[in-house]
Amino acid sequence: MELLDAIRSRRTTNGPFQPVPVKPEHQRLLIEAASRAPSHFNSQPWRFVLIEDEGIRRRIAEIGGRTMTQLMEEGKFFQRYRKYFRFNQAELEARRDGILIDQLPAPLRPFIRQVFSDRGLYLMNKLGVPRTLGEDNTKLVANSPLILAVLLTKEEYKPNELSGYYCLLSMGMAVENIWLTCGDLGMGIQFVSTPMEVPEAWDEIKSILQVPDDLELMALYRLGYLPENQKRPRIDWTSSQRKRMSQLVYRDVISPETRWPEDPSV
């Protein structure tokens, strides 16, 4: 696959993977790609854990599902991320960012716009939406053949210093290399984020992975081979829109006059 094609076709996989292990040679390629990312003074602050053990994957999956349900039921998820929700194609086209929830069970569709109100949250909980999402998330993570934990060395990662900022830049580039390599290998990848939002749950995962004091657990991803016919979850969204160049770029200095010329076709 050509590089630009890989970048343009990059996607997050919200659905299930094939129930087959990720080949060792492909695991090696993923980590090699990550290791080729740039880092401050070639410090290479990243470390990785490749998790294939079914018992560990299931424990992480249970935490992922539990935290998703908790965040939804308490309304914290919607409070934090409401600005990213789009409710129709016209709104998505106008903003060209965020997510459009386009896959939803019929009984829930009339309530989707009310999700950010107290009444809407009550109805969502009454209809069991948080539980449904949590159950779906548990299954997705548990049935993913590979979970990747990304860590940074505390020798380099110091959050209150410039080195911490540089480490985050490097980590992001390493993960992007993994993401693009997944596309080349016929694989998918998804960020497992909800455990990070509940501190005690994140501590559970650190304990499960036996993370030592000199490393900081930063992120979890689930990976696997894409099925020929990809099945979407019961509740799902699309996020393929990208902002136009005129919304992103200036020439030389930042002012309305120096924006990239508008091109409606892009």
Q: Is the pLDDT of residue 110 over 70?
A: no
- Rounded distance, CA 124 to CA 190, Å? 25
Higher-scoring residue by pLDDT: 8, 20 = 20
What is the amino acid identity at position 148?
L
| Continuous segment of H or E residues that includes residue 261 | none
Give the pLDDT score at 93: 87
- Rounded distance, CA 57 to CA 222, Å? 10
Confidence of residue 129 (pLDDT cuts 50, 70, 90): confident
- pLDDT tens per residue, range 35-85: 999 999 999 999 999 999 999 999 999 999 999 999 989 988 888 888 898
- Rounded distance, CA 98 to CA 41, Å? 35
Helix (H, G, I), strand (E, B) or coil at 110: helix
Give the pLDDT score at 126: 84
- Rounded distance, CA 236 to CA 226, Å? 17
- pTM confidence score: 0.91
- Rounded distance, CA 182 to CA 7, Å? 11
Q: Is the pLDDT of residue 219 over 60?
A: yes
CB 156 within 8 A of CB 167: yes
Q: Is the pLDDT of residue 107 over 70?
A: no
Q: In the 8-state DSSP scheme, what is residue 50? A: E
With CA atoms as reference, report the closest residue to 9 among 174, 180, 178: 180
Q: Which domains does the chain have, with CATH numbers?
A: 3-258 (3.40.109.10)
Higher-scoring residue by pLDDT: 105, 227 = 227
- pLDDT tens per residue, range 144-196: 999 999 999 999 999 999 999 999 999 999 999 999 999 999 999 999 999 99
With CA atoms as reference, report the closest residue to 16 among 237, 186, 229: 229
Q: The sheet that has 99-103: what strands, in order across it?
A: 85-86, 99-103, 236-238
CB neighbours (10 Å) of residue 243?
12
Ramachandran angles phi, psi of 224, nearest 5°: 175, 175
The pair of three-digit structure tokens given for residue 89, joined into one six-digit string: 């194609």
The pair of three-digit structure tokens given for residue 83, joined into one six-digit string: 């600005």
Q: How far apart are the first and last CA of the chain?
A: 23
Give the pLDDT score at 78: 82
With CA atoms as reference, report the closest residue to 146 among 30, 33, 232: 30
CB 224 within 8 A of CB 50: no
